[in-house]
Structure 1
Amino acid sequence: MHESDETPRTFDDEAVLLVGHGSRRERSNEQVRELAADLESRLEIPVDAAFLELAAPAIDDALAELASLVSRVTVVHCSLFAASHVKNDVPLAIEQARGVHDIAIDNGSHLGIHPAIIDLLDDRATAVERDLGVDRDTDDVAVVVCGRGSSDPDANGDVHKLARLLYEGREFDRVEASFVGVTDPTLDERLHGLSKHRPDAIVVLPYMLGDGVLTRRVRDWTAEFDDEYPYVDALAGDPLGTDARLLDVFADRWQEARTGSVDMSCDTCKYKVDLEGYEADVGGARAMLRAITHQESHADREDVDDEPHSHDAPAKHVAVCTNRTCAADGSPAVLERLRQAARDSDHCDARITRTSCLGRCGDGPMVAVYPDGVWYGGVETDDAERIVSSHLNRDRLVSELVDQTL
């Protein structure tokens, strides 16, 4: 819990459990708790933190406590990628809790690859460039994204995808993926390989949530490389930490979980398909657990006759610009208020998501409604209920907010 026993909280009927890995460094655990407190302020519902190992409370203890206070809990993961913790450990803990407590538990997906995270990594790289005194527009700057490393090829593949997306549209000389261990290439191997290209600088981005043991190891290895190669300036940046943009990702994962629209990467999951070198992982208890969880998520929705299946397209798609200018004008709050109003409505069949720049900077926050092709401008949080009740539910435009129609 975030508040002391002397200051009891008033609970609604829903709570969120933010699950972190757990660290021997208490500072890393405190970062997860800080994120939970910030997410609680963002969602305006109780959010508690739990850990897989090395820190308290454990998932089962946290769920037991919440079961006495609420009837529904949504589990949101701090895991960056979908490896064994996301695919096995957390689902198993949830299944065990469902068998013990009379409580509905929705299981979300990992943080994954999200536009807010790409933007955050870009800012981390900019901070390192500033410390090194280089400019990617005029200097040859290489970037190395360093992940933890996993025995799950699906998770490792996403690190490479993340590196590529960071490269696209930016003036880096190159962006490469690397790992602390378990798989190749290691950070040391990648740094020595890049030295042959003689860039002006190498920016190393530790792709970890907390400032723990692995992050410190990345910094040490980068410093050793910098000493060994005086003709290349190399410096490691900060981890993701408690940056507010992570709340955007958590909010999206929370919304997906509670609406039954979680998408897992089953096509490339070693527990589901026969990947060369991982044949022993197909089948068995772990794969069965994943299959049962997946099937139950479908069965739960199919039992509700008047609720559309999670794969069905919604009647409307609402896109809220959360690019820099609109965000500064309050678009993240508008996004959350729209989602809340839609959840509170009995008739709203709409998917509400964030989007990048809509090209109307200065006229925002901008909200676009499709397939109607109606763009609202200057939207405030108090306008969200009207957009939902009038436009999304009854197809009546909120005329005073219309910026343009397509």
Structure 2
Amino acid sequence: MTAEAATPVPESLDDEAVLLVGHGSRRERSNEQVRELAAALEDRLGLPVDAGFLELAEPSISDAIAGLAGTVSTISVVQLSLFGASHVKTDVPVIIQEARAEHDGVTIHNGSHLGVHPAMVDVLDDRVSDVEAELGVDRGGDDVAVVVCARGSSDPDANADAHKLSRLLQEGRAFTRVETAFVGVTEPELPDALHDLSRHRPDAVVVVPYMLGDGVLTGRVRDQTAEFDAEYPYVTAGAGDPLGTDTRLLDVLGDRWQEARTDSVDMSCDTCKYKVELDGYEEDVGGARATLRALAHKQSHADREDVADEPHAHDAPSKHVAVCTNQTCAAMGAPAVLERLRQEARDCDARVTRTSCLGQCGDGPNVAVYPDGVWYQGVTADDATRIVSSHVERDRIVSDIDTQLL
């Protein structure tokens, strides 16, 4: 399982550019890794590749698209995310949809995340080999177990892909077992997975952090592995390096670019918690809910990498007001409603943003207040004033406007 061939580059790229989207971090080194990959991908593809960030770094995705829109007519967005969770499924698509409305003369393709790819398995295999060499063990003669440790997500689809990568790493290789663990959010967490492995008494345990950058989370993986190594003297344990800027990532990014520019992105809709009802995630079903969460997240998410025990933080406004400005709602007066809401909420602890269709065409203009999950329908500019003064400022639903609860 190798990925040696360079991505084939088609002709006629003079009017096309790529935007590589990273999460963004307060650690400038992490942001610089995204820019390094963008530069390397530009050399690989032979066309302009810029870097943009979801949050905490500049330029933002919107600003990066605006910068490219003045020079090309086609932009393909490629996401530097390991798994397809909420950033990939909701946050970035909302931003791209807004950009399409602002740059209607530019075609903007939305690409997928890195995901499960042969090159990613190859990188993992090499990271394990590096640790085996450090520990002085050989999977061919020693009992070597591996733990692939991912970030962990509230999206079961993303967590399932982590398990799939672990299984692919085990196939055809002489590891006694390959387990999956997570830093947080979901189970099993790394210490529990390591303790379970100790019962099998392997000669060595190799932990590989399945992360792009070398930050707080990878440091936590190393610390927990060292604690395990000290607690179980009959097992030799060591942790490897993250993915970093390994050149094989370019093979994956090149494939994702090809999928994006040809509108052939294949997402896992059959196991997407926003599209199908999965046990334990019933409240997440529904595209409108996902859109509203994405709009709120876009304004509120902040990195906690400076805090030792918590890698993410949310400093959200108390209210997020989303106004549908799709064609039908726009014709019914949504732009005036949006402007009035922004004027009235100027001094409130609230964000007012536009959104694409909320699936209630014909009942607009539609205004959704998050996190309350209240939709107002048939809203006028005068209604907007009352929504702010009553609901946003005093948590009192305006009862004489048609409403719907999410």
Q: Which residue identity lines up with residue 166 of structure 1 in the other structure?
A: L
Give the stretch that moved more between structures: 171-180 or 205-214. Answer: 205-214
List alignment gaps of at least 5 residues for structure 2.
Answer: 1-12, 294-406
1:61 to 49, 60, 63: 63
**Match status 1:154 vs 2:157:** yes
- Which of 199, 203, 210 lines up with 1:200 in the alignment? 203
Note if 1:167 corresponds to 2:170.
yes
Q: How far 1:182 sits from its partner (Å)?
A: 0.3
Q: How big is the shift at 1:141?
A: 0.4
Determine which of 238, 241, 244 is the counterpart of 1:238.
241
In 1, distance between residues paired with 2:86 and 2:157? 10
Q: SS at the partner of 1:230?
A: coil
Tell me, in whole angstroms, the C-alpha distance in 2 between the residues paired with 1:256 and 1:66.
20
Which position in structure 2 is the counterpart of 1:100?
102
The superposition leaves residues 118-168 of structure 1 with CA deviations (integer Å, 9 ceiling, x where unpaired) of: 111101100000000000000000000000000000000110111001000
Q: What corresponds to 2:274 in structure 1?
A: 271
Offset, 1:284: 5.0
CA deviation after TM superposition for structure 1 residue 278, in Å: 0.4
Deviates most, 123-132 or 47-56: 47-56
2:186 to 183, 191, 212: 183
Question: Which stretch has the larger CA shift, 279-288 or 126-135?
Answer: 279-288
Where does residue 309 of structure 2 map in the other structure?
A: none
State the Cα deviation string for residues 84-135 of structure 1 (Å, max 9, x = none). 0000000000000001113110011110000111111101100000000000
TM-score, normalisation: structure 1: 0.67
**Corresponding residue number in structure 2 for 1:38:** 40
Matches within 5 A, 1:109-128: 109-128=112-131
Give TM-score, length-normalised by structure 2: 0.67
Which residue matches 2:148?
145
What's the % identity of the aligned pairs?
Answer: 74
Take 2:292 and 2:268, find their aligned partners in 1: how far apart are those partners?
15
Structure 1: stretches of 5+ with no match in the other structure: 1-10, 291-406
Distance 1:286 1:64 in 2: 28
Shift of 1:12: 2.9
Letter in 2 for 1:240: L
Q: CA deviation at 1:288?
A: 6.6
> How far, CA to CA, are the matches of 2:139 and 2:249 in structure 1?
25
State the structure with bigger RCO (CA 8 A, min sep 6), 1 or 2: 2
CA distance 1:202–1:156, change in 2 (3 Å): same
Contact 2:62 2:99 in 1 (8 A): yes
Contact 2:94 2:291 in 1 (8 A): no
From 260, 264, 288, the equivalent of 1:261 is 264
| Maintained 8 Å contact 2:229/2:236 | yes
Counterpart of 2:330 in structure 1 is none
Cα deviation 1:276-328 (Å, max 9, x = unaligned): 110000015145799xxxxxxxxxxxxxxxxxxxxxxxxxxxxxxxxxxxxxx
Contact 1:179 1:187 in 2 (8 A): yes
- 1 CA distance for matches of 2:28 and 2:222? 19
Cα deviation per residue 1:28-64 (whole Å; 9 max; x = unaligned)? 1111110000000000000011111121111111111
- Amino acid in structure 1 at the alignment position of 2:90: N
Please tell me the root mean square deviation across aligned C-alpha atoms, in Å: 1.4
Letter in 2 for 1:88: T
1:77 to 64, 67, 79: 79
CA distance 1:289–1:45, change in 2 (3 Å):
farther
CA distances 1:234-286 after superposition (whole Å, capped 9, x unpaired): 11101111111100000000001111111000000000101011000001514
- Whole-angstrom distance in 2 between the partners of 1:183 and 1:215: 17
1:23 deviates by: 1.7
Q: Is the 8 A contact 1:136 1:172 kept in 2?
A: yes
Between the aligned partners of 2:35 and 2:197, the Cα distance in structure 1 is: 37
8 A Cα contact 2:204 2:236, kept in partner: yes
Could you tell me how far apart the structure 1 residues matched to 2:287 and 2:255 are? 32
- C-alpha deviations, 1:334-356, integer Å up to 9, x for none? xxxxxxxxxxxxxxxxxxxxxxx
